[in-house]
């Protein structure tokens, strides 16, 4: 894993300084109980949160600062704005400005850092890294080192110079991550509820940040967690999975038997990938042992959930699943892959529906990513808002960087081949995605480890002496380990031109 950049080396992100004076610390804690929260950049998600806060209370605990040139209500359509209460909209506009004498001055990032103790940088992957650099500089200039910074960006960042992709929280481990599930319009309902997680690698900061955000509205419940890297990765992976979910709902609406399997795999593989990413944390050695309070105080059932792999008698830790207890993050994945009873699904889900419509109309995968973007725009989707499509572009780099295995990422791999593969790969990807039986077989077979399929092949070819030898050896405990780890015990069958499409696609991926 790459070395941290300069920002991550110097970035301190805590509500408290290094003082050991208990009196001043108590004073700071009391002040934090009445602190303000700032949202910078704004967008659909934070603007909807602000509307909910304006609708439920008027204590002005929230301050807003749109990015220069960006309208506070710009993320909403005119129809949506007409459906809002004008009083609540007026309250939101008051949150976005302050008085200097008789003049009303729009808030900016510097004003938020000066007046708030928790600032959420709500930009997407296009702006978030520069916003973080600017925010850190402003904290220093304004002598406000104990303002905690968090992000909302659920996508992969990309360094053009080094051609390297990553999640921002991995590059800057002390950056907080705030996320939850937001359905279009849900937060503008006076009775609907919403859950979120505030994640920070320090358990006490996570707990305090969650309590601060929990005061935004009685309809919003925020729980703490320490797994900021994992949560941000899940969010990015979820955006890609949501495209496939939208495709599945639309394309196979007459063959709904495949949907439970498809959605289960999409969810599980998001979590399994993040479990692998978790093992690569640079701060892992002290992540669990140096916490100021027990993780059970945050709602974690146990301090750690790890998976191990037996490699020839040597047990190796390969996954950490503790983060899967972040209910709101997991609910975000589930919710983003569901077709709502009322209202519209997420934008990435809608992109998947646009993909299905295009493939139904043309009988093929899109010939280029530009054609798919055109299908999305024809469906009323702005391609710049599709974080899942941005994430998918960098998928090969992410998969290699974090050593994501094929059997933990087979669904996104298939989607990637359908959009970015060569002509032959797209042909077979289309056949798998379009035929329910092929997709079902792919779902079943692609989650197996590559080597495990040779046993299934052996059972289908039991007349072959090598196959019979392999199976019989597994019955004998003393010889089982030799049979499993001897590469010469049975050769894996070569894929033939007339093999099913799902086998062809898996062969592409394994090559």
Over the stretch 379-431, which tens digit does the pLDDT of each residue have?
A: 999 887 788 998 999 999 999 999 999 999 999 999 999 999 999 999 999 99
Q: Which domain holds residue 357?
A: 235-449
Question: So what's the pLDDT on residue 44?
Answer: 86
Q: Are residues 140 and 245 in the same domain?
A: no
pLDDT tens figures, 283-341: 888 899 899 999 999 999 888 899 888 776 777 888 999 999 899 999 999 999 988 87
pLDDT at residue 503 above 90? Answer: no
Name the least confident of 11-20, 157-166, 242-251, 501-510. Answer: 501-510
Give 66's strand partners. Answer: 41
Q: Whose structure tokens read 């303002």?
A: 147
Q: Is the pLDDT assigned to residue 501 strictly greater than 90?
A: no
Helix axes 327-336, 259-278, angle to 10 degrees: 140
Q: What residues have CB less than 8 Å from 88, skipping those under 6 apart?
A: 51, 54, 55
Cβ neighbours of 56 (radius 10 Å): 14
- Of 392, 418, 449, the last residue of a domain is 449
* CATH code of the domain in which 168 resides: 3.40.50.720
Copy the structure tokens of residue 111: 């004003």
Residue 473 lies in a domain: no
437: in domain: yes
Specify whether 177 is located in the same domain as 159.
yes
Residues 278 and 402 occupy one common structural domain: yes
Is residue 481 one of the residues assigned to a domain? no
Does residue 108 share a domain with residue 64?
yes
The secondary structure element, H or E, covering residue 476 is none
Q: Give how many domains the chain has, as a whole number.
A: 2
* Residue the block writes with tokens 């603007």: 47
Same domain, 204 and 323: no
Asked if residue 495 is part of any domain, the answer here is: no
Residue 491 domain-assigned (yes or no)? no
Report pLDDT for 134.
97
pLDDT, residue 440, reads 94
Asked if 139 and 251 sit in the same domain, the reply is no
pLDDT of 160: 85
For residue 435, pLDDT over 60 is answered with yes
**Model confidence at 272: pLDDT above 90:** yes
In what helix (H) or strand (E) does residue 407 lie, and over which residues does it extend? none
Q: Is residue 199 part of a domain?
A: yes
**Residues 98 and 113 reside in one and the same domain:** yes
pLDDT-based confidence at residue 468 (cuts at 50, 70, 90): low
Encode pLDDT of 339-390 as tens digits. Answer: 887 778 888 999 999 999 999 999 999 999 999 999 999 999 988 778 899 8
The pLDDT, as a whole number, for residue 161 is: 86
Domain end call among 419, 449, 479:
449
User: By mean pLDDT, which of 95-109, 350-364, 497-511 is the weakest?
Assistant: 497-511
Q: Confidence band (pLDDT; 50, 70, 90) for 458?
A: low
**Residue 510 belongs to some domain of the structure:** no
pLDDT of 308: 86
- 113 with 203, same domain? yes
Q: How much is the pLDDT for 190?
A: 83
192 and 272 housed in the same domain: no
**Considering the entire predicted model, what is its pTM?**
0.86
Own/partner pairs, 298-305, CB within 8 angstroms, 24+ separation: 298/203, 298/206, 298/207, 298/223, 298/224, 298/225, 298/226, 299/223, 299/224, 299/325, 300/225, 300/325, 301/325
Shared domain check, 353 and 322: yes
Dump pLDDT digits (tens) for 232-267: 999 999 999 999 999 999 999 998 899 999 999 999
Judgement on whether residues 135 and 50 belong to the same structural domain of the protein: yes
Residues 396 and 270 in one domain: yes
Which of 36-50, 96-110, 380-394 has the least mean pLDDT?
380-394
| Residues in a beta bridge with 63 | 38
pLDDT of residue 489: 46
When pLDDT is averaged across residues 173-177 and rounded to a whole number, the result is 96
Domain final position from 185, 207, 228: 228
Q: Is 464 within a domain?
A: no
Predicted local distance difference test score (pLDDT) of residue 465: 65
pLDDT > 70: percent of the chain: 87
3-state secondary structure of 306: strand
User: pLDDT category, 485, cuts 50, 70, 90?
Assistant: low
Q: pLDDT tens for residues 179-217?
A: 987 666 678 888 888 899 999 999 999 999 999 999 898
- Could you tell me the sign of the dihedral formed by the alpha carbons of 160, 161, 162, 167, in that order? negative
Structure tokens at 279: 């093992």
């Amino acid at each position: 894993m790459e070395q941290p950049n300069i920002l991550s080396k110097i970035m301190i992100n805590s509500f408290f300084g290094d003082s050991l004076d208990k009196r001043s610390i108590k004073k700071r804690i009391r002040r934090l109980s009445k602190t303000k929260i700032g949202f910078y950049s704004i967008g659909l998600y934070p603007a909807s949160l602000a509307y909910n806060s304006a609708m439920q209370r008027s204590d002005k605990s929230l301050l807003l600062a749109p990015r220069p040139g960006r309208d506070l209500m710009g993320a909403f359509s005119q129809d949506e704005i007409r459906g809002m209460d004008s009083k609540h909209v007026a309250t939101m506009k008051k949150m976005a400005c302050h008085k200097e004498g008789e003049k009303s001055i729009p808030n900016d990032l510097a004003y938020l850092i000066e007046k708030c103790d928790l600032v959420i940088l709500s930009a997407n992957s296009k702006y978030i890294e520069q916003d973080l650099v600017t925010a850190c500089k402003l904290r220093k200039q304004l002598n406000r080192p104990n303002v905690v910074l968090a992000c909302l960006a659920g996508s992969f960042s990309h360094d053009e110079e080094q051609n390297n992709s990553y999640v921002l929280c991995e590059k800057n481990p002390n950056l907080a991550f705030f996320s939850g599930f937001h359905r279009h319009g849900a937060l503008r309902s006076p009775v609907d509820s919403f859950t979120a997680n505030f994640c920070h690698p320090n358990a006490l900061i996570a707990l305090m940040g969650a309590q601060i955000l929990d005061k935004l509205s009685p309809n919003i419940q925020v729980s703490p967690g320490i797994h900021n890297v994992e949560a941000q990765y899940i969010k990015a992976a979820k955006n890609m999975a949501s495209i496939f979910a939208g495709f599945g709902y639309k394309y196979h609406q007459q063959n709904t038997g495949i949907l439970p399997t498809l959605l289960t795999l999409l969810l599980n593989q998001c979590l399994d990938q993040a479990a692998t990413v978790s093992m690569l944390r640079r701060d892992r050695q002290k992540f669990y042992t140096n916490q100021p309070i027990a993780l059970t105080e945050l709602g974690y059932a146990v301090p750690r959930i790890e998976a191990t792999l037996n490699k020839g008698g040597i047990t190796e830790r390969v996954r950490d699943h503790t983060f899967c207890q972040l209910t709101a993050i997991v609910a975000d994945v589930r919710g983003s892959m569901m077709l709502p009873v009322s209202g519209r699904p997420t934008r990435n889900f809608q992109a998947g529906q646009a993909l299905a419509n295009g493939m139904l109309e043309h009988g093929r995968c899109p010939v280029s990513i530009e054609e798919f973007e055109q299908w999305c725009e024809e469906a009323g989707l702005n391609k710049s808002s599709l974080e899942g499509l941005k994430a998918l572009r960098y998928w090969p780099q992410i998969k290699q960087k974090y050593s994501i295995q094929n059997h933990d990422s087979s669904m996104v791999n298939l989607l990637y081949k359908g959009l970015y593969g060569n002509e032959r790969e797209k042909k077979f990807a289309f056949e798998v995605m379009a035929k329910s039986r092929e997709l079902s077989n792919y779902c079943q077979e692609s989650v197996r480890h590559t080597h495990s399929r040779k046993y299934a092949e052996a059972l289908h070819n039991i007349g072959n002496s090598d196959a019979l030898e392999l199976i019989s050896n597994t019955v004998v405990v003393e010889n089982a380990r030799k049979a499993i780890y001897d590469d010469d015990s049975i050769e894996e069958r070569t894929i033939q031109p007339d093999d099913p499409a799902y086998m062809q696609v898996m062969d592409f991926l394994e090559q």
